[in-house]
């Protein structure tokens, strides 16, 4: 079942749009979202177990692999969107992005464990993170596909 998750539009995406309108391609030309990344970062442990951090619009990338999310919390799974299937306009001011990880993908975190995902980033062709999301723990196993639906309202 698809999960609708909370997400924030990143500051760099807002800046890029403003630059495009002023004919400044310093952050790359306009492009649709091209890739997404699921990461093992984006959480805190207040003593009762891991909980997702609030999504931070100032981030430029997912936090997996960055202090304090190092070995074994360094796994990132990246995948390209399928344009017609994963990116659609559902209303005049709303876009829907489908981030899908199939059962045969991302089943080992590189340390022999199933990945424990807490974060998701969506990127354009220039590598700018457009949207960042955090959510409750999802453990990825061979018997489980992940499907996150992100809505961007304009």
Q: Answer yes or no: is 49 within a domain.
A: no
Is 26 part of any domain? Answer: no
Domain range enclosing 113: 3-21+33-43+67-153
The number of folded domains in the chain is 1
90 part of a folded domain: yes
In a domain, 73, yes or no: yes
Residues in the chain, total: 154
Question: Is a pLDDT exceeding 70 seen at residue 150?
Answer: yes
pLDDT grade for 3, boundaries at 50, 70 and 90: low
User: What pLDDT digit, counting tens, does each position of 38-78 carry?
Assistant: 999 999 999 999 999 999 999 999 999 999 999 999 999 99
């Amino acid at each position: 079942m698809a999960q609708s998750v909370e997400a924030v539009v990143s500051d760099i995406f807002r800046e890029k749009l403003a630059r495009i309108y002023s004919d400044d391609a310093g952050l790359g030309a306009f492009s649709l979202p091209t890739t997404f990344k699921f990461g093992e970062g984006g959480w805190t442990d207040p003593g009762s177990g891991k909980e997702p951090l609030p999504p931070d619009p100032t981030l430029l990338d997912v936090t997996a692999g960055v202090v304090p999310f190092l070995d074994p919390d360094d796994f990132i799974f990246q995948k390209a969107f399928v344009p017609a299937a994963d990116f659609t306009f559902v209303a005049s001011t709303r876009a829907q992005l489908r981030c899908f990880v199939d059962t045969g993908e991302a089943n080992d975190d590189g340390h022999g464990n199933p990945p424990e995902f807490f974060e998701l980033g969506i990127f354009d062709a220039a590598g700018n993170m457009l949207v960042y999301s955090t959510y409750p723990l999802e453990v990825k196993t061979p018997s489980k596909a992940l499907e996150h639906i992100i809505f961007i309202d304009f």
